[in-house]
A and B are shown apart, each in its own frame.
Chain A
Amino acid sequence: MNVIETSNLGKRYGGTWALRECTLAIPAGHVAALVGPNGAGKTTLLNLAVGLAEPAAGGVTVLGGLPAGSPAALDGIAFVAQDTPVYQNLSAADMLHLTRNLNRRFDQPYAQARLAELGIPPGRKAGRLSGGQRAQLALTLALARRPRLLVLDEPVAMLDPVARHDFMATVLTAAVDDGVSVVLSTHVLAELERVADYLILLSRGRVQVAGEVDDVLATHRLLTGPAAEADRYTERPVVHVRRAEAQAHLLVRAAADDPVPPGWEAHPVGLEELTLAYLREPGAAALPGPARGRDTQPSEVTR
């Protein structure tokens, strides 16, 4: 089952496309990270998936074919929006009660135990909680709904490292222990390796890379060799060239057993490095499905 499936999905605000020709399928049972620079269309994609926005083109279904925003979809998806909005003038206990009233399922004992564990006094107004506590409150409300899919939009962008770590720990617990599928958007790359096992790279409203992290990493190599020869490497598609004095580092799409040209050394690539390389090359695309913008020559970054 795919928790989110889109086909040629597009969304336009005014005259500009926030998301364009987006076709992807995120399978269930993953913590999927949606990565991309600001304005890449991450929030737009998530808003479309949770039914807050209507597509201008194409379609989006969730939880194995349910139309986004339909009652059944709303029932199965919990969404924590950017900046984790909660009602400032309501207490944490009121927020629990509110969410309980607005949903068919609500695990009150779980939610209360979570608040106690987090040290959030039930009577405290949400507006007077710290950023980390507020994010945890929003996450608790979402998880207490016992969703099949948890969607998080930039959940940790505003949090300090400790709060960020705690927040992601809660998300991972839900994913591992309870089998909740998670789709989260982020541009905090440091968290990626620890949490995500599925990666979607979005750039300028288009999908660059989508796939399981292990597969993506297995099909990319980092080649190190003389800088003078960097331009002559043509065996495999080059995603990104990075020059450091006499040496050049090429991120190429190649399997581990691909032959390495003489004079070059091959290394496995890390998730953060790979992501960064793609973010620097908005024109590059790969895996799976038809790649676009192949004709665009990778630009060079000299250090």
Chain B
Amino acid sequence: MTALTMPAGPKRDAGLRPVPWRRMAWVTWRQHRAALGGVAVFLGALAVYLWLAGLQIHHAYATACRPTGSIACTINFTGRFGITAIFVSVFLQAAPALIGAFAGAPVLARELESGTFRYAWTQGFGRTRWTVAKLVLLAIAVAAAAGAFSVLYSWYNQPFFAAGYAIPFSTRVFDLHGVAFTAWTLAAFAIGALAGMLIRRVVPAIAATLAVYAGLALATALWLREHYMTPLLTSHPNLPGSAWIVSQWYIKGGNFAFPARGSQIVNALSQLCPGTSDVSSAQCLSRHGYTQWTSYQPGSRFWPFQWIEGGWLLALSVLLIGVTVWLVRRRAT
């Protein structure tokens, strides 16, 4: 049935030049344009909302908040937009995880699940280079999209920041401003890629990515971040509003007495000054020779903290992608 014959056999090149890297640009785009389009639509829709809402917020801030502490500012600005902005920031906490899970996890899991890796990894391009090219291109694409988005969010959130309604180290600021949002998106993508390679099924890999990401983000916010730099110590009772209080405790006569929270301080108060109100408890303790000490991270450390977090997340992402590539390279079917 085949009247057709192929032209003469291949010329055997002495020096075998590899297939150029740039060819993977089309391949990656063609195979992952749906995922990239999904990320673009997701962030694009949120961006349109932030843009429209941001214009209103900026307008309200400009008209109501001069000076920032005024009653008008509280009513017409923070009162009107504050709650919505908090909901937006909570929702956006999940954005890197969603992007990472839906763009990162299927890259290898779909190939392994559908068996197409047997096609892809036996082409002349070579499976190691194929994996490197895909993961690097996609990582750059999602990180760039996340970076652009976080710039827009910073603009949207700026009035709350200026009004003192949002402090630098709160999750709604720290996680979504600056480089952290980009770095977290990149890390989520890398977690997704590795999960896809290990689990080899798209849906379980997505679920695992979300779970691992949530655990990592939570652990970072609760335990890790406060240790990026040694906290400052002060016995001054009035801290600047932008400070992130790490812990507070009382000392008496140069010795640690009890932490500023918990049952011990309640017991101490009831013994020393029974019947005092909360307001005067500090005075009561001070009268009895107790001094309150505070360790805190000043708001001015916002950018150093951003770069530290961005730095280790970038290193983690590179490591995870490296492990993924290594697994592809040595993988036995």
Contacts and interface: CB of A to CB of B under 8 A. Distances in A.
Contacts of B2: 117, 169-170, 173
A39 B9 CA distance: 35
Interface stretch (A83-91, A196-204, A255-263, A281-289): A83-91
Most chain B beta-carbon contacts within 10 A, residue among A72, A98, A141, A179: A98
Contacts of B30: 90, 94, 97-98
A148 B8 CA distance: 11
A264 interface: no
Interface stretch (B21-29, B53-61, B76-84, B269-277): B21-29
B125 interface: yes
A263 B27 CA distance: 69
Interface stretch (B97-105, B116-124, B179-187, B307-315): B116-124
Contacts of B19: 101-104
Interface size grouping (class) on chain A: 35 or more
B-side interface mostly: loop
Given A52-B121, A54-B332, A117-B2, A85 B116 contact: yes
Contacts of B17: 104
A240 interface: no
B210 to A, nearest CB: 24
Given A52-B333, A102-B125, A79 B9 contact: no
Contacts of A148: 9-10
Interface string B124-156: 111000100000000000000000000000000
Nearest to B5: A177
A147 B6 CA distance: 11
Contact of B118 (A79, A90, A103, A104): A79
Contacts of A89: 34
B52 interface: no
Contacts, number: 123
A96 B8 CA distance: 20
Contact of B6 (A54, A81, A178): A178
A297 to B, nearest CB: 36
8 contacts: A50-B122, A81-B118, A85-B116, A102-B130, A110-B6, A113-B4, A141-B119, A177-B5
Interface of A: 11, 47, 50-54, 71-72, 74-79, 81-83, 85-90, 94, 97-99, 101-105, 107, 110, 113-114, 117, 138, 141, 143, 145-148, 166, 169-170, 173-174, 177-180
**Which 5 residue pairs across A and B have the least CB separation, nearest first?**
A81-B118, A102-B123, A103-B124, A101-B23, A79-B122
Given A54-B330, A90-B30, A101-B125, 16 more contacts: A74-B124, A78-B122, A79-B118, A82-B118, A83-B115, A85-B118, A88-B114, A97-B26, A102-B19, A107-B7, A146-B7, A147-B10, A148-B9, A169-B1, A173-B4, A173-B5
